[in-house]
Amino acid sequence: MWWDDDDTTFFESAEVAALVRRYENMVKHNRADYFDEEEYETIVEHYLMVNKLSEALRVADCGNRQHPFSDDMKLCYANVLLEKKETAQALQLLQEMEAKGVNDPELSFLTGTAYMQLGHIDEAVTRFDKCAQQTDDEEDLLSLLLNVASDLMEKDEYAAALKYIKTASELAPNDMEVINEMAFCNERLNNLDESLYYYEKYIKEEPFNDNVWYNIGTVYARKNDYRQAMQAFNFAVTLNEKHASAYYNLANTYVQQKKYTEAINTFQSFLKLEPDNSSAYVAMAACYEKLNGYKEALAAYREAVIFDDNFAEAHYGLAVSYANTNKWEQALQHMYKAATLEPARLEYWLQLGNILLQSRGNKKSL
């Protein structure tokens, strides 16, 4: 269908391949062969699937010239224009069809898509609602609702998206994709209890899904329930020992519980997967500082600036570490770097002043 964007399910039949070859031979030999509307749509779909948008547009244009009174060909042409992000031209064509009284769910859907690309969310939602009303087949309607919701979420329009997901849930309450989208959208809207309900409903059916366990962990962390978050993140890394984000969030969960040794060990596991992640080195250095491991903290801060010399927080940490060991020249160098990288951070300038005083023999502590 025209709203099914799952390209991974597209496998060309021998008939489609032969049809495309016949079209390409026509172009090669500059002939004017006849193709019916459905054949043109099939050839356009082929070129869209292989990401040859200009050729798809050429086919759609050829189809419109051969079938000048066909609404289907006009919609096919508008669809390709939208794929090419030539939104204004597509919308003009679609509006002309609306003005002529064309009543077609594809017209409503494509017009909604055009408005979505332009950021006119209210107009897009109006057309998508109309499309849903025009769609009788439940399977097609479910696909439509989920695709519209996905498009809205890409625009961070989660409240609007949730309306479509709820309707999808009424149609298919046990559909795993619907359950996952309900959980995700509610999470983004900060409906954390509702989000957990659906994530846990999902995990009952697929208990070995590490990504869902990770999502459960993030929701519990946002609820400040770090014990439950830690358990969920641990499940995630047990199921997938290469789930880097789960290690990182698990480490931060340990930090929130002041379990700094466990946090350091977990950051180290994360850094085996992402050895150039400066933020992890800085977070781990802060844990070492909590345990008075200033030598280890200094080494971690150094690693951070090796991978990202423009990371102000890493330079700040280095400056404080050097100051704590009376290495004033290095402390001044890194604190000045931090302050110039983020000049709006008042604390960096204040610390720079404190280090200047310290370096001149002032005995005030940092």
Q: What is the per-residue pLDDT for 362?
A: 52
Q: What is the per-residue pLDDT for 10?
A: 46
Q: What is the per-residue pLDDT for 9?
A: 37
Give 8's DSSP letter: G
Q: What is the per-residue pLDDT for 12?
A: 66
Give 119's DSSP letter: T
288/284 Cα distance (integer angstroms): 6
Q: What is the per-residue pLDDT for 32?
A: 85
How many CB atoms neighbour CB 194 within 10 A? 17
> In what helix (H) or strand (E) does residue 66 lie, and over which residues does it extend?
helix 53-66
- Does a structural domain hold residue 89? yes
- Does a structural domain hold residue 94? yes
HSE, CB side, 13 Å, CA atoms: give it for residue 327. 12
Q: What is the per-residue pLDDT for 11?
A: 54
The total domain count for the chain is 1
Q: What is the per-residue pLDDT for 366?
A: 43
∠358-362-366 over CA atoms, to 5°?
50
Residue ranges making up the domain that contains 22: 1-135
- In the block, tokens 């004033």 appear at 328
- Does a structural domain hold residue 316? no
Give mean pLDDT in consecutive 10-residue pieces for the chain, a chain of 366 residues. Answer: 44 84 92 93 95 95 95 96 96 96 94 95 95 93 94 94 96 96 97 97 96 98 97 97 98 97 98 97 96 94 96 95 90 94 94 88 50
- Does a structural domain hold residue 8? yes
- Does a structural domain hold residue 160? no
Q: How far is CA 116 from the centre of its chain?
A: 17
- Does a structural domain hold residue 52? yes
- H-only helix segments in the chain: 14-28, 37-49, 53-66, 71-83, 87-99, 105-117, 121-134, 138-154, 158-171, 176-188, 192-205, 210-222, 226-239, 244-256, 260-273, 278-290, 294-307, 312-324, 328-341, 346-359
- Does a structural domain hold residue 81? yes
Q: What is the per-residue pLDDT for 8?
A: 36
- Does a structural domain hold residue 38? yes
Which CATH number fits the domain that encloses residue 91? 1.25.40.10
The model carries a pTM of: 0.81
Rounded to 10 deg, the angle between the 210-222 and 226-239 helix axes is 160
